[in-house]
Amino acid sequence: MFIEGVSSEPLWYVVHTYSGYENKVKASLERVIENRGMQDYFFEIVIPMLEEVEIKEGREKSALKKIFPGYILLKMIMTDDTWYVVRNIRGVTGFVGLGNKPTPLTEQEIAALGVDATAKAVVDYEINDSVRILSGPLENFTGVVESINPEKAQVKVKVSMFGREISAELEYSQIQRIF
């Protein structure tokens, strides 16, 4: 289509949405990615937020405010298919870029937005460690770490359920190592 020199590396892009639709776009995009099995192309969806503290009637109240209403940040591998998926989400008006060509953000721009592209979460478990699941449908189950995907900040855990072993992909924060 229009994408020249497609990189196999995930890059950050800015997606323009209708103002107030950022959360709906993020949820819809996550659902479509899951349904189409495109998890290998999409890595992170961020709505840039800033915590604001207000003092009202003598009480401090903390609230999250969108830094850029009408925009979301998306870390993805750009292909014709991924471009099509994003463009056809209800509430998306397009990518930020020149003409029809999405322009990826530079590392300096990402850092200025407060998104640390190089930061990796440090986990205290390794492959074959026993872990307890802290949240989600498998909460309070125990399992064994099969693989760790630092790019997506996910862990694949093997859980024994009703005499069968199943694999579940979980976020880093959803599990805790059993000592």
pLDDT tens-digit map of 150-174: 767 788 999 988 889 999 888 877 8
**Confidence at residue 1, expressed as pLDDT on a 0 to 100 scale:** 42
* Dist CA 163 CA 141 (whole Å): 13
For residue 125, the Cα-to-chain-centroid distance in whole angstroms is: 22
CATH superfamily of 11-112: NusG, N-terminal domain (3.30.70.940)
Question: What are the boundaries of each domain within the chain?
Answer: 11-112, 130-177
In which residue are the tokens 């937020």 written?
Answer: 49
Higher pLDDT, 118 or 81: 81
Domains 11-112 and 130-177 share a fold: no
Give strand ranges (E) for the chain.
11-17, 42-46, 49-56, 59-66, 71-76, 92-95, 97-98, 101-102, 130-133, 142-149, 154-161, 164-171, 175-177
Cα separation, 151 vs 10, whole angstroms? 10
Rounded to an integer, the average pLDDT of 89-108 is: 87
Q: What is the pTM of this model?
A: 0.59
Residue, of 55 and 41, whose pLDDT is higher: 41
Fold of the domain spanning 130-177:
SH3 type barrels. (2.30.30)
